[in-house]
Each structure stands twice: as C-alpha cells, then as structure tokens.
C-alpha cells in the first residue's frame, strides 16, 4: 500500500538538502539527507539516515496549480502559486518516519502546510509529530 503526504510551500522557497540538514541539526531531528540536492529538482528516491540507519523516501514536486481539485480548495490562498512536494512511502515505518520528519522540517522552517492524501485534510505539525511517533514505535 502506497501512501502520500503533500507539503505545499510558497513559491519563493527553494529548499535544499543542505539547508534541511542544518535545520535538522539545530533542532534535534535525527535525520540527515545524504544526497545534496535542491528538493524541487528531485524526482524519485531521496536517501537519508534516520537515527543513523539507512532511510529515505520518494519525493516528487509540481506546481500547486496541479494539485487534485479537492485539495486546492483546502490549502490557504497564499499557497495557490506555490510548489508541492509529494512524499510517497509504502508500509515501511522508516520510510514513513522519513516522510513525516521531512514534512515537519519543511513546515516549521519554511512555513508550509501539509495534506494527507488519504483523508484530504490539512495536518498540523503536532499531528505530523504524533504520526511520526506512531511509526517510530512500530
């Protein structure tokens, strides 16, 4: 079963794995992205280390205008011209944790919003952290 988590950022933001790693270190997230890249140019597997173990998640990006219609009506208007990062993961709890940790970092560092593709709801950082803990306990 494949699940997706969408993170929508304002257009002016271009996150790089270097910036994500610096932010992660500063704020105590146990993740390190092992491939240097601009996230918007990534398509496919993004390798990482999570709690010093090999990890990663599939990442794709596209303009917010290409979001499925039901999602467009949910995101705040300021993100309409933004960029969407889609994190895809299967039943692997490490992949899920990589996706949720990355979403938390993008939301807190860049002021993004997250959408769960299953429920079609916006998710707060607190909800992302709860799910991250859940997958961490699996």
pLDDT tens track for 29-40: 999 999 999 999
| Residues 47, 48, 53, 57, Cα dihedral to 10° | -60
Question: Would you state the pLDDT for residue 52?
Answer: 92
Question: Would you state the pLDDT for residue 2?
Answer: 80
What's the residue count for the chain? 138
Kindly report the three-state secondary structure assignment for every residue of the chain: CCEEEEEEECCCCCCEHHHHHHHHHHHCCCEEECCCCEHHHCCEEEEEEECCEEEEEEEEEEEHHHCCHHHHCCCCHHHCCCEEEEEEECCCHHHHHHHHHHHHHHHHHHCCEEEECCCCCEECHHHHHHHHHHHHCC
Over 80: is that where the pLDDT of 97 sits?
yes
pTM of the model: 0.95
Residue range 104-127, pLDDT digits in tens? 999 999 999 999 988 889 999 999
Q: How confident is the model at residue 6 (pLDDT cuts 50, 70, 90)?
A: very high
Question: Would you state the pLDDT for residue 91?
Answer: 79
Rounded to whole angstroms, the Cα distance separating 134 from 31 reads 17
Residue range 47-92, pLDDT digits in tens? 999 999 999 999 999 999 999 888 999 999 999 999 999 999 987 8
């Amino acid at each position: 079963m494949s699940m997706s988590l969408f993170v929508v950022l304002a257009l002016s933001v271009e996150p790089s794995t270097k910036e994500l790693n610096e932010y992660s270190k500063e704020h105590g997230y146990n993740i390190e992205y092992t491939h240097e890249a601009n996230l918007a140019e990534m398509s496919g597997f993004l390798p990482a280390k999570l709690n010093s173990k090999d990890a990663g998640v599939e990442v794709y990006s596209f303009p917010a205008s290409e979001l499925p219609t039901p999602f467009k009506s949910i995101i705040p208007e300021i993100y309409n011209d933004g960029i969407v990062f889609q994190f895809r993961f299967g039943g692997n709890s490490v992949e899920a944790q990589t996706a949720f940790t990355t979403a938390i970092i993008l939301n807190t560092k860049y002021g993004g919003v997250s959408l769960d593709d299953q429920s079609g709801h916006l998710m707060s950082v607190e909800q992302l952290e709860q799910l991250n803990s859940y997958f961490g306990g699996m």
